A and B are shown apart, each in its own frame.
Chain A
Amino acid sequence: MPSFFKRKNVTKTRYNQKSGNKEQSPEKKPGSIGFSLSVNLDIIKQRTGNSTDIITRHVKIGPNYGLKTVVVYVAGIVNEQFIHDFLIESLMKDHFLQEDLNLENAAEIIVDDLVALSSVMQISEWNQLLLSLMSGDTIILIDGLDKALSVSTEGGEKRAIEEPGAQVSVRGSRAGFVESLGTNTALVRRIIKSPDLWLESMKIGKVTKTDVAIMYINGIAKQEIVEEVRSRLNKLEVDSILESGYIEQLIEDQTFTPFPTLYNTERPDIVAGNLLEGRIAIFIDGTPFVLLAPAVFVQFFQSTDDYYARFDMATALRLLRILIFIISLIAPAAYVAVTTFHQEMIPTQLVITVAAQREAVPFPAFVEALIMEVTFEILREAGIRLPRAVGSAVSIVGALVIGQAAVQAGIVSPAMVIIVSITAIASFATPSFSMAISARLIRFFIMISAATFGFYGIILAFIMLLAHLCSLRSFSVPYMTPLAPFILANVGDTIVRFPWLDLGTRPKLISQKDNIGQGETMKSQPPENSGMVTANTGKGDGNES
């Protein structure tokens, strides 16, 4: 039995080995690649369970075709065009370069002269070899050599860059992230062309070995936060990372909260903007959603359009979004409270109308609201999973059965239908899906408190919610900054947006201190001699007398 099997469990962390490799003594260690090509190939076959998508191509190189060489790769995750054109072809054809090729210098010549691909690496460890094989590299094994060459040939079918599905904006870049990590980081690099944009990669997941990269701008991002992100990621010992949601939930500060404490986005411009504010982006291979840390509450109500549109519009829209969020939280609760406890609060005529409508309804307002809300949640959940072909069926059912028919059947009152519709629309207006979804949950909690105590219950639930929000932290940054703790310099970009010229400072708790984002000197003004006051001044002192 080959000896590497015994080492299999010991060699878990690839990174420690990588640095240790160079110091290794020349004698054979278990887990290292052997000399014999056929044995090596057997080992590959054995460890991969004879998987049929592993392609081995035998070539003979060197003078007199004396060196048996094998090219190994996994079909589908490599760029086969590259392998054929720049690897196999040059190995087989460039004979004038191969004249003095022998076992000792084979690796060097292949690396230096033969392979016309950018990144080639020498490998002597099995685990490393298999990992790079599985990541889409091509392995070159030579008979009699206890080393392998790994050529970077990652490729395969990728989705093209498209407009993001979940975060649409009116103005601004149409590009959205895709599933490939390399493409995603490149999209951000194209926006921030600075050498200070630093990228660190790691592999997370004992089985999936998912590529994860953190990106930040050196000099803007706070070093402690970068360190914290890095250490939290390095601590992860999980089998798999299938989506950024895994990482988000594994590294967040507080698990028991309905609110998201990491921001996720599909848009490169949002990532770039946040990097410039000192945040750290976490890219995960295989998902178009990039995480941003640390996240603060107001961030979830900001959209890219706010920055591209004029500040007055942006401010109005942001305030509107906060209002919408509050509506989506308390609209059904307020209806329940008003109809059950505080009838005096609404105009008398409306009270009479509502009371007349509710006369036919056999349930208390709370039950009525609950029925409608749950029904709507069912509709929404079903709507996500519906096959496209039957999609219209559900909207018809939703509109007719839940709206018109439910009222006529006397299950709910028309006013309730209006309330539920407003809530439903409002819950879609929050720019961030993860924040909108938390409102869905909290709404029921507030409804219960409204049903038991009217407005008193709603207000108490609201204060409790505020206390909870204030207690949250995202990578040790208080969640409600810059509103609580109040930071005057940063209020310009919260639920309001000041003109760009007044947004001089970066977020204080997130980015490095004493760092001014923009100068004050660029304020442009109309030329002195235009405008009404001085329009009639010709030459002279402008004095009419």
Chain B
Amino acid sequence: MEKARISAYQLFVLMYLFQLGSAILIPLAIEAKQDAWLAILVGMIVGVVPFFIYYSLYQYYPDILPTQYTERIVGKMFGRAISLLYILYLSYLSARVLRDFGEMLLSFAYPETPLFIANALLMFVVMYTVRKGIEVLARTGELLFTLMILLAFSGLLLVVFSGLIDLNNLKPMLEEGLKPVIKVALTQTVFFPFGEVVAFAMIFPYLNHPKKVKVAGLLALGLGGTGLALAMAINISVLGVDLVSRSQFPLLSTIQSIQIASFLERLDVYFMIGSIIGIFLKISVYFYAAVTGTANLFNVKQPSQLAYPIGIIILFLSVTIASNFSEHLEEGLKLVPLILHLPFQIILPLFLLIIAFIKRGKGQKEKRVQRESAPRRGEA
């Protein structure tokens, strides 16, 4: 663990951009049709549960990384095995996001470019940033956040003033009742993007005011979810359900349909800036979590030394995890939520939390006498 401290605001910014990251680009929760935005909001509310699991674990062990506390909870061997699995999971996810982005970039702007090159460029910037540590990542996030907000607001204004929004596209609400909405929320949006904040378990211990983690996290979840829901609602109201579900990148289509005063048009670069910022932050957070976890697990003194080697592994992984984009999407939609997200985001953390709770309960009874006389650490 490097000697660094980030503020609650920085955590909020990172979490917010992290959630928007890739989720804002794709037709998220479109299985719920015109109620996609509702599915996102429901997913967000349910997504508070996994966040609280990570948060409670963090409260038990506020000073150490998850790779350390797994050892304390389930013993050295199992703990290390679980940590290793988590590192692989985080690396795999960063490779996935990188692949997603590379494919998107090639499909809409650079059809002739090899995927590897497109990925390599972004990965190089990510490695450069992560090598400098969490503080630099957090500060960069703050600047990019401002830029993103500016983009979002001006984009929103442009969409509104170009008169594209047709609210009738969002009707009828709850056509088939609540069931499909909740089904989509529970099978998709809880895990992606809200459950993915599991990566932040690796970042919580860097907070300078541990008490503010809850506020920052919930705020980021809330605003991130609202932002995503808003974006999706705008997509659907501009393009209609049909177009959105058939489009790979509905946000791009929405932006491309902006046309004001016959010179503000073809604003693809808007989309490109926004998507690169989001994706950059998302990969960086996953990647940072993987790097710092590895360094912690294998007792590497300087996590920054691992940035380039692990980064190159992720880069190659991003090209080799699927032989083409359809396969990649298929894996992402069918397999990953079930066999990766569910165990790693819910089951394992819950399992750890329960054991930690039981252990803590036992220990607390013995220590209660001492505790009451001495002030608690957290209050100091």
Contact = CB atoms under 8 A, between A and B. Distances in A.
A463 B139 contact: no
Interface in B256-288: 263, 266, 268-269, 272-273, 276-277, 280
A453 B110 contact: yes
Most interface-central of A341, A463, A464, A480 (chain B CB within 10 A): A463
A456 B140 contact: no
B325 to A, nearest CB: 18
A316 B277 CA distance: 27
Nearest to B121: A460
Given A480-B139, A484-B142, A456 B125 contact: no
Contact of A463 (B10, B142, B277): B277
Contacts of A454: 109-110
Given A457-B121, A460-B122, A478 B272 contact: no
B143 A485 contact: no
A480 B143 contact: yes
B276 A484 contact: no
A471 interface: yes
A466 B105 contact: no
Contact of B269 (A455, A460, A480, A483): A455
A345 interface: yes
Interface in B271-312: 272-273, 276-277, 280
Contact of A345 (B7, B110, B268, B280): B268
Nearest to A449: B121
Interface string B117-132: 0100110010011001
Interface string A431-471: 00000000000000000000001111101100110111011
Interface string B145-166: 0100000000000000000000
A486 B125 contact: no
A456 B136 contact: no
A60 B272 CA distance: 88
B9 A486 contact: yes
Contacts of A486: 9-10, 142
Given A345-B266, A456-B118, A456-B121, A467 B110 contact: no
A463 B10 CA distance: 17
A483 B142 contact: yes
A470 B125 CA distance: 14
A165 interface: no
Determine the main DSSP class of A at the interface with B: helix
A464 B143 CA distance: 12
Q: How large is the interface on B (under 10, 10 to 19, 20 to 34, 35 or more residues)?
A: 20 to 34
B137 to A, nearest CB: 8
Nearest to B113: A453
Nearest to A467: B129
Nearest to B272: A455
Interface in B71-126: 105, 109-110, 113, 118, 121-122, 125
Nearest to B263: A347
B155 to A, nearest CB: 16
Contacts of B9: 486
A453 B121 CA distance: 9
B266 A470 contact: no
Interface in A451-510: 453-457, 459-460, 463-464, 466-468, 470-471, 478, 480, 483-486
Contact of B125 (A347, A455, A460): A460
Interface in A324-347: 341-342, 344-345, 347
B304 to A, nearest CB: 11
Contacts of A463: 125, 129, 140, 144, 276-277, 280
Nearest to B6: A485
Given A470-B136, A470-B139, A464 B266 contact: no
A430 to B, nearest CB: 19
Contacts of B137: 467
B143 A484 contact: yes
Nearest to B276: A459
A288 B82 CA distance: 63
B351 to A, nearest CB: 36
B105 to A, nearest CB: 6
Most interface-central of B140, B272, B276 (chain A CB within 10 A): B140
B263 A470 contact: no
Contacts of A341: 109-110
Interface string B1-21: 000000101100000000000
B276 A485 contact: no
Determine the main DSSP class of B at the interface with A: helix
A459 B121 CA distance: 11
A454 B9 CA distance: 33
Contacts of A466: 140, 143-144
Contact of B266 (A344, A456, A457, A480): A344
B11 to A, nearest CB: 12
Contacts of B121: 453, 456-457, 460
Contacts of A455: 109, 269, 272
Nearest to A470: B139
Most interface-central of A342, A454, A468, A471 (chain B CB within 10 A): A471
Nearest to A346: B266
Contacts of A468: 128
A365 B142 CA distance: 35
A72 to B, nearest CB: 57
B140 A467 contact: yes
B139 A478 contact: yes
A277 B138 CA distance: 26
Interface string B233-273: 00000000000000000000000000000010010110011
A453 B114 CA distance: 12
A470 B143 contact: yes
Interface in A146-189: none
Contacts of A459: 272-273, 276
Contacts of B132: 467, 470-471
A478 B140 CA distance: 12
Most interface-central of A344, A460, A470, A483 (chain B CB within 10 A): A470
B340 to A, nearest CB: 28
B130 to A, nearest CB: 9
Most interface-central of A342, A456, A460 (chain B CB within 10 A): A456
Contacts of B139: 470, 478, 480, 484-485
A294 to B, nearest CB: 16
B143 A483 contact: yes
Contacts of B276: 456, 459-460, 463
B140 to A, nearest CB: 5
A377 B132 CA distance: 33
A485 B109 contact: no
Contacts of B273: 459
A62 B166 CA distance: 107
A451 to B, nearest CB: 13
B119 to A, nearest CB: 11
Nearest to B262: A347
A471 B130 CA distance: 11
A466 B121 CA distance: 16
Contacts of A342: 109, 268-269
A467 B128 CA distance: 8
B142 A485 contact: yes
20 contacts: A342-B269, A345-B268, A454-B109, A455-B269, A456-B109, A456-B272, A459-B276, A460-B276, A463-B276, A463-B277, A464-B128, A466-B143, A467-B125, A467-B128, A478-B135, A484-B140, A484-B142, A484-B143, A485-B142, A486-B142
Given A453-B121, A456-B121, A470-B139, 6 more contacts: A345-B268, A460-B125, A460-B276, A466-B140, A470-B132, A485-B142
